[in-house]
């Protein structure tokens, strides 16, 4: 029922704008409005704070179905979870009440600020500093590759509070867009997900109350990594949706397109490609859903499964979208058809929330 309702909403209210959102590199406001109206923009927020209280699997299905028609729009529910999960996992009751309520209502979005110009895969090498000043912390630094930056009202920001301790000297904070000293760089010009703004976040002597620290001092990096164990599964879901959208489109196309006097879907070579695409997608789906169940239970092998689902599903998305472009031939290479957009959108799923090379390191260290 959930899948059917999200799919019909996505096809009616999000799909019609997907090509224009990509073409114009603009935020998918129509998608945000539709998702908020149906309470699907941040389904993971617990009911205690006014949210839908969806479990990890339901959240995955929402993201998958939105990504099937528009990858940029699927980053609304995905990044709302990524940005707010540190607060859910480690924040005080006061912090949860203050920030999860507006998120659940759709009054604010939440972004996640971990990466920096010189700290990507080596996130612990960050340079953003937070210095205590009485009842305040003062933050200075630059965060890069921040999804939905400038649109989101709230940011979970990781900053160094004790430079001597490397990863154990990093703390997490909630920063608000309206805080004095917060500004944003120009939107990055990207290959795909063009409807989701990616910008630098500049923190210039940003003074925030001490009670905006998420969890205890020095626990920020641990919270950041724990968050990614859960949210990598949402990227797997996004990849899965993109791949499914590409297969669905290609499947319809090969039944219509005629060459040599018959639909190209009648040729065995084409049938084999479709069979492989469907098989890989189904394998990715099973792994992603199993990982989502582990996320919900917080199983001991979650770290492995989160990394495996993200890595496998994103590799599948890249393969499947590339094959979909091939099946459409010359048409697949034009912007008049959606598969080239899907192929461009799929690429980022192999890179963000930890490159697939990093996922393989994570898996190797956490072999079940």
d(CA 340, CA 325): 6
In the chain, which ranges are continuous DSSP H helix?
Answer: 2-9, 15-24, 29-37, 56-67, 71-90, 93-105, 220-256, 268-297, 302-327, 339-348, 356-365
Contacts of 163 (CB under 8 A, 6+ apart): 129, 169
Question: Are 115 and 123 within 8 A, CB to CB?
Answer: yes
Distance in angstroms between the alpha carbons of the first and the last residue of the chain: 34
d(CA 1, CA 237): 18
Closest CA to 42 of 5, 90, 71, 84: 84
65, 116, 340, 353: the active-site residue: 353
Closest CA to 100 of 52, 62, 50: 50
Place of tokens 């799909």: 15
d(CA 73, CA 104): 17
Residue 32: strand, helix, or coil: helix
* Assigned token pair, 160: 């160094």
d(CA 358, CA 363): 9
Instruction: Specify which residues 251 forms β-bridges with.
Output: none
d(CA 21, CA 330): 23
23 is catalytic: no
3-state percent breakdown (helix, strand, coil) of the chain, nearest 5: 60, 15, 25
Q: Is 174 left (phi over 0), alpha (psi -120 to 50) or beta?
A: beta
d(CA 94, CA 96): 5
CB-count burial class (<10 Å; 0-12, 13-18, 19+) for 8: exposed
Active site residues: 353
């Amino acid at each position: 029922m959930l899948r059917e309702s999200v799919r019909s909403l996505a096809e009616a209210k999000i799909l019609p704008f997907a090509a224009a959102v990509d073409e114009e590199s603009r935020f998918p406001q129509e998608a945000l409005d539709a998702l908020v109206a149906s309470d699907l923009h941040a389904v993971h927020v617990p009911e205690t704070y006014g949210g839908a209280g969806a479990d990890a699997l339901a959240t995955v299905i929402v993201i998958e179905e939105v990504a099937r028609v528009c990858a940029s729009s699927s980053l609304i529910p995905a990044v709302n979870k990524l940005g707010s999960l540190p607060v859910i996992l480690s924040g005080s009751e006061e912090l949860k009440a203050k920030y999860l309520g507006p998120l659940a209502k759709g009054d604010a979005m939440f972004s996640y600020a971990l990466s920096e110009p010189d700290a990507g895969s080596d996130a612990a090498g960050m340079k953003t500093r937070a210095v205590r000043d009485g009842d305040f912390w003062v933050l200075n630094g630059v965060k890069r590759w921040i999804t939905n930056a400038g649109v989101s009202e709230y940011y979970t920001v990781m900053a160094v509070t004790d430079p001597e301790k490397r990863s154990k000297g990093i703390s997490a904070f909630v920063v608000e867009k309206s805080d004095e000293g917060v500004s944003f760089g120009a939107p990055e010009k990207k290959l795909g997900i063009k409807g989701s703004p990616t910008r630098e976040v500049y923190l210039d002597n940003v003074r925030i109350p001490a009670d905006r620290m998420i969890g205890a001092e020095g626990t920020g990096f641990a919270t950041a990594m724990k968050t990614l164990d859960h949210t990598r599964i949402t990227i797997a879901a996004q990849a899965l949706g993109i791949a499914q959208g590409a297969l669905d489109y290609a499947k319809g196309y090969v039944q219509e397109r005629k060459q040599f006097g018959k639909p190209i879907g009648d040729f065995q070579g084409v049938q084999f490609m479709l069979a492989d695409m469907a098989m890989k997608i189904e394998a990715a789906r099973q792994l992603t859903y199993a990982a989502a169940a582990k996320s919900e239970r917080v199983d001991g092998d979650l770290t492995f499964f989160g990394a495996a689902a993200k890595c496998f599903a994103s590799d599948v998305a890249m393969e499947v979208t590339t094959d979909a472009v091939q099946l459409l031939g010359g048409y697949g290479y034009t912007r008049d058809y959606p598969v080239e957009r899907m192929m461009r959108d799929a690429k980022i799923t192999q890179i963000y929330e930890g490159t697939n090379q990093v996922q393989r390191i994570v898996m190797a260290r956490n072999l079940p």
